[in-house]
Structure 1
């Protein structure tokens, strides 16, 4: 499907098949643009990479990305781009926002890759084109176009060395073309994961049952027109146990259901392009907390979140050296549940003798944006963008960006370019930040309706080049962030437990260096290194921001041994100098993953792999040690 990502640049995935620079076209700056013509930092993880590394969900793929850090808690992961938190990163599916928790703590597990063509990661603010929440960057998951009949399937089982835990999963993706110009796709993913616990009964890996099915339709109405429709439904239930001091083990059961529906009409004649799209995403959450020993209910949550969006975009060339993109959107976000106290639509919720109050909140957003891609000369290109946002909850806001690309030389298999971008970003407070009202055994957390949006200014500079089998890049970035939203202790309950409230409490400076080196002397061998340095400071408190690596090093080796028809992929991921929020200590971890593949017969491959090859463990991070998997996949 058509996916949208804001301004992009070049940062190739290491040891993956090299594609000629300028040949890869991504939906950068909301228009199809070659990677070597855009000024910000972007990385494309395509279908070949997904299959080579046997990635099943988004969280399995992102460790390959530059400037992206996954904060791990067992098998759950949250994403951080250039030191920004997961809440400051915008995750899209085909350019669409989906209904999700404000923390987005489950999104990397909710997005399977069976029907995904590529994932585009933009590092740096994307608010000029995408509005709020794109403070740190944008991750856009782009699904496959159903253009030709095919059937792909995959099955895999994993065994964990700890507590003999296991996990089995399978997915399928199929396309039929019942009429000329009409493609219909169907995909499904099923995951069954057993619980893994420590000797004291506390969960290390939660039990999970996950099902997702998606239906896509792509109908070419005329040579320049097409109708695109998508329907996706997922259901996930999970359970885990935690120690609650003298209260013993407590059991948490969560049941989540999400339905996404989208309809778009698109036009493209090569000179002009446009799209009108409407979509809706609904997430229903149910959570119960009970005593492990007796099953007695302690607490429960019922939440419903709905996002409804209408958007339009038009692109054209008023002059040969200018491409303009004009767009507008309307978005409504509705929240209803017993975890907020907005004072609107108050109602009672009762379960097993426990009575709570629920309320609702609805926020309307509208925006328009304009971007000019100006080819100043054969060597220089400028990208200028601006956006105006309005809502019924916050003050109107304008953001802008200015980027430039200058080609020092471009000689086929040799090229060198400079890129730079100055951009603004912002993130509006979520409904949770504004109205949350929850009391838990260990704390009470309250919202703050007087919060102001977080805002940032970002400067990004880089030099990138390729020379035969070599590719390399070096970049520096600096982000100034104001009005950071965080919790502070405002009081204590009668039992001494803290009462937290959200507030605009600080400023931050996030700056660093990113560099890559990739060598592919042949189609059978690829070696790569990427290194990132991050200095993330709370400048108001003069302290380091927690859970962010100061140094990150990723090494990859891909090798196809033709005599045995054996494919080998080895990835090492080192995160060093992490100030851990659980232990308060500075930590470092290094994990290696190995994947082997071999065809059995035409269209049928065998997979064998080891995650965490050297059995690294960390109780604070719930890093559970070595896991071995065996899988099989087919294509027809």
Structure 2
């Protein structure tokens, strides 16, 4: 009987030893598997960080292509005649001052030529008639108005002000004033509007002389003279035309009050090839 009991406890002991060994091996294998999984997850995370997750790959949705085409203002053709394009067809508030209107108004300074347009206000803070401040619809030239001369911006870099006395009014062909925001076309600074000054083009003749002289009260006078023309290119094989324009002027006055005099000398030159 005692031997049976001894063998029984011996089998129980051996079973416990075998069970513990199996459990320890399973735990070690599970720990090794978990460590390998952790290493694989870490490696995958690092790869996804630099290369992007494969789960996020896919076709990027895109919209249909939109083509925007700008065109010039068209003319209208009828059975009787062709109706040319007119500024009244443009969906914008635009005023154009032609050369004829400027000569009829007999303006002396550029500011006087646009003083009567809609929405314009001038402030003569100095009192000499030259250094005036221009605003359009309440927006000043120093922040929200762009002034162009033949497409070139003439606003000063510091403050965006414009030196109007340097604009030769006798060389102006026409003036276009656009009221309202024009920043999508002309860039920043055109929230209030744009004043585009177009000067005289060279004459199609080989040489054309022009000039003028005026006198006014307070010992004032204005004098300008110049020449322009088009010369056929006979030197190069291109066979184009050389255009030139030269104008020089002098404007001065003693002013209507003390220390209100001014003296302005202007020089305008153009040289082109067509």
Work out whether the TM-score is over 0.5: yes
1:155 aligned residue (192, 213, 216): 213
- Please say if 1:132 is aligned against 2:184: no
1:102 aligned residue (156, 159, 170): 159
| 1:92 positional shift | 0.8
Q: Contact between 1:43 and 1:122, CA under 8 Å: does it hold in 2?
A: yes
| 1:196 positional shift | 4.4
TM-score, with length taken from structure 2 = 0.59
- Please say if 1:82 is aligned against 2:137: yes
Aligned equivalent of 2:106: 54
Judged with a 3 Å threshold, the aligned counterparts in structure 2 of structure 1 residues 184 and 56 are, in CA distance, closer, same or farther, namely farther
Q: Contact between 2:165 and 2:264, CA under 8 Å: does it hold in 1?
A: no
Judged with a 3 Å threshold, the aligned counterparts in structure 2 of structure 1 residues 151 and 60 are, in CA distance, closer, same or farther, namely farther
Written as runs of structure 1 = structure 2, the 5 A alignment for 1:520-559 is none
Three-state SS of the structure 1 residue aligned to 2:164 is helix
Deviations, residues 78-100 of structure 1 (Å, cap 9, x unaligned): 21111112212111111111252
Judged with a 3 Å threshold, the aligned counterparts in structure 2 of structure 1 residues 139 and 22 are, in CA distance, closer, same or farther, namely farther
Aligned equivalent of 2:3: none
| 1:22 positional shift | 6.5
2:149 aligned residue (89, 93, 96): 93
2: CA distance, partners of 1:82 / 1:99: 18
Q: Runs of at least 4 residues of structure 1 off by over 6 A? A: none
Judged with a 3 Å threshold, the aligned counterparts in structure 2 of structure 1 residues 153 and 86 are, in CA distance, closer, same or farther, namely same
Runs (5+) with no aligned partner, structure 1: 1-8, 10-20, 25-33, 160-164, 221-636
Q: Contact between 1:42 and 1:120, CA under 8 Å: does it hold in 2?
A: yes
1: CA distance, partners of 2:185 / 2:160: 22
| 1:49 positional shift | 1.2
Runs (5+) with no aligned partner, structure 2: 1-72, 74-81, 234-240
Three-state SS of the structure 2 residue aligned to 1:60 is helix
Q: Contact between 1:22 and 1:37, CA under 8 Å: does it hold in 2?
A: no
Judged with a 3 Å threshold, the aligned counterparts in structure 2 of structure 1 residues 196 and 56 are, in CA distance, closer, same or farther, namely closer
1: CA distance, partners of 2:155 / 2:93: 27
2: CA distance, partners of 1:142 / 1:107: 16
TM-score, with length taken from structure 1 = 0.27
The alignment's C-alpha RMSD in Å is 2.5
Written as runs of structure 1 = structure 2, the 5 A alignment for 1:287-436 is none
Compare the two structures and name the one with the higher strand fraction.
1
2:231 aligned residue (178, 185, 208): 178
Aligned equivalent of 1:41: 93
| Count of residue pairs the alignment pairs up | 180
Deviations, residues 275-303 of structure 1 (Å, cap 9, x unaligned): xxxxxxxxxxxxxxxxxxxxxxxxxxxxx
| 1:60 positional shift | 2.1
Written as runs of structure 1 = structure 2, the 5 A alignment for 1:498-577 is none
1:65 aligned residue (106, 109, 117): 117
Judged with a 3 Å threshold, the aligned counterparts in structure 2 of structure 1 residues 43 and 99 are, in CA distance, closer, same or farther, namely closer
Q: Contact between 1:89 and 1:139, CA under 8 Å: does it hold in 2?
A: yes
1:120 aligned residue (164, 176, 190): 176
Judged with a 3 Å threshold, the aligned counterparts in structure 2 of structure 1 residues 208 and 59 are, in CA distance, closer, same or farther, namely same
Compare the two structures and name the one with the higher helix fraction.
2
